[in-house]
Amino acid sequence: MPTVVEGHLTSAGLRVAIVASRFNAFIVDRLVDGAVDALVRTGCADADIAVYRTPGAFEIPQVLRRVVDAGRYDAAVCLGAVIRGGTPHFEYVASSVTKGIAQVAATSPIPVSFGILTCDTVDQAIDRAGAKAGNKGAEAAMAAVETANLLRRLEAAE
């Protein structure tokens, strides 16, 4: 039987930054609420959660870079909602945000989770922010927690 090393879903003692956009706040606020709720339910203290609000999703990677570089957090969760409209703007923003977050994550010493909704309709976004499809903010927070715990296990084994 192979050795399996994985993280666990306990956030006690973790310091978590949430970088979330204000644009489409009626969706993103639900994602933030879901993330905070998931963190608190798994043991994270309110005082160990910081929420950084950006004007829009496009600004998330820049703020994320500063948050990671500050060295105060064990994990970062990125939350936003980019909803398709009648112009190509959606493609540019969704692509830029995805690439920007991925670039930061690739060089980050802490886990960075991706909770940016890229939806065709408002209804799809609502479904993913706590309705039919669960809360993607909570899922992103738990991915960050699990990865943070996995990284701690890897460091302890070195």
Check if 89 is active-site: yes
> End-to-end CA distance of the chain, in Å?
22
Whether residue 121 contacts residue 84, with contact meaning beta carbons closer than 8 Å, is answered with yes
Residue 143 phi, psi dihedral angles, 5° rounding = -65, -40
The one catalytic residue among 8, 89, 99, 153: 89
Q: Which residues of 77-115 are buried (b: 16+ CB within 10 A; e: fewer)?
A: bbbbbbbbeeeeebeebbeebbebbeebbeebebbbbbb
Sign, Cα dihedral of 128, 131, 132, 133: positive
Q: How many residues does the chain have?
A: 158
Q: Tell the burial category of 36 from Cβ atoms under 10 Å away from its Cβ (0-12, 13-18, 19+).
A: buried
Task: Supply the residues annotated as catalytic.
Answer: 89
